[in-house]
Structure 1
Amino acid sequence: MNEISQEAAEALANGADLAPQAGILAQYVKDLSFENPNAPASLQMQGQPKIEVNVNVNARSGGQDMYEVELKIDATARGQDDRIAFQVELLYAGLFRLAGAPQEAIEPFLIVEAPRILFPFARRVIADAVRDGGFPPLMLEPIDFGGLYLQQLDARQGEGEQPMGNA
């Protein structure tokens, strides 16, 4: 049987809800860059460009159950001649509050669930920036943040590292 703290027992007796709670307090663009270095020639390219997309997630504690999660997306489109058609870089972030969450649940939330919440908004910012740059909107495919997290855990365990206590 699990023991609970005196404080938790008193809170439960008074009808308090101790279930973990998560909420997004804000989301925002921290940095956005769009480059069209070969315009106007890049706007007249023929054929489908080769597009390379890189995504990174970073999370840090902001104190008092608050965490900032950053979703960094870089996309580069190259024409048939390997010249850059456009390059877009976005650092999109959200401020999350996690109350009452067990320590082992914090990292998966910050690395999987928080980016999943932020991604549709970041995707729209990227699509709009590319469209405003004179190209068809770049509609990024959904990202499996859970699968990426599991790969990261496997790599860490292969290197003998322990999962992060705080992201």
Structure 2
Amino acid sequence: MADEGSIITDMGLGAPVPNGADTLPAAGIISQYVKDLSVENPNAPDSFQWTDAPEIDVQFNIGARQLSEEVSEIELKIAIKSRAQAGTAFIIDLAYCGLVGMRNLDEAQMHAFTYAEAPRILFPFARRVISDAVRDAGFPPLLLEPIDFNGIYLQQLAAQQAEAEAAGGAPAGNA
């Protein structure tokens, strides 16, 4: 047992830390909430009589805002527009957010948690809000397909890396 005021090492790696210091990496959702929800049914009640299959356009965007050293707000924006031949059936805009706590992570881990893991955790709840909003607008519930946020994140990282290599690696012309 360590004496009061003594110094212990961090996981046997030799780095001295004060007794009781929390040095292990940690990340998780603190809270989640609907920040903004807009439901439009511009052609009601006529749209309930349309028989042609609608075209559903779904757009996603992930935003992040640092609130303090250890807490960020992750915003999953989802915009859905349902159009039929006769016009727009419904428009749903959702900003679903989560407060995320991250401690003792390096920059790459924080970035990956912010733009891949946190949206993956938040999405099922946003999906339910969308389904309920479409149903409450008078249409059959819309169940969005699962999204591979980690796969999308890795694709974007690879594309950015390829862009950086192309921009800095090869000369622009022949000399």
TM-score category of the 2 structures, normalised to the smaller one: 0.7 to 0.9
Deviations along 1:96-125, whole A, 9 cap, x unmatched? 110111222000000011001110110111
Report the alpha carbon displacement of residue 15 of structure 1 after superposing the two structures with TM. Answer: 5.8
CA deviations on 1:8-37 (whole Å, 9 max, x unpaired) are: 5224xx365522111222111111001111
Q: 2:116 aligns with which of 109, 112, 119?
A: 112
SS of the residue 1:10 aligns to: strand
Moved over 2 A (4+): 14-18
Cα-to-partner distance string for 1:130-149 (whole Å, 9 max, x where unaligned): 00000001110101101111
Sort the Cα spacing of 1:106 and 1:42 in 2 relative to 1 into closer, same or farther, 3 A: same
Q: 3-state SS of the aligned residue for 1:77?
A: strand
1:46 is paired with a residue whose SS is: coil
Q: How many residues align?
A: 153
Match of 1:27 in 2: 32
TM-score, normalising length: structure 2? 0.81
Give the alignment's TM-score, normalised by structure 1.
0.84
The answer to whether the 8 A contact 2:62-2:119 is kept is: yes
Amino acid paired to 1:93: C
Tell me which residue corresponds to 2:82: 77
- Structure 2 residue ranges without an equivalent (≥5): 1-9, 166-175
CA distance, structure 2, for counterparts of residue 93 and residue 120 of structure 1: 12
SS of alignment partner, residue 16 of structure 2: helix
* CA RMSD after TM alignment: 1.9
Query: 1:35-46, aligned counterparts within 5 Å?
Result: 35-46=40-51
Q: Distance in 2 between matches of 1:40 and 1:57?
A: 34
2:169 aligned partner = none
1:138 matches 2:142 = yes
Question: Aligned partners of 1:149 and 1:118: how far apart in 2?
Answer: 15
Q: What CA distance in whole angstroms lies between the structure 2 residues aligned with 1:129 and 1:9?
A: 53
Residues in 2 aligned to 1:9 and 1:51: alpha-carbon distance in whole angstroms:
57
1:159 aligned counterpart, secondary structure: helix
Aligned pairs for 1:49-88 within 5 A: 49-79=54-84, 81=85, 83-88=87-92
**1:126 aligns to 2:130 (yes or no):** yes
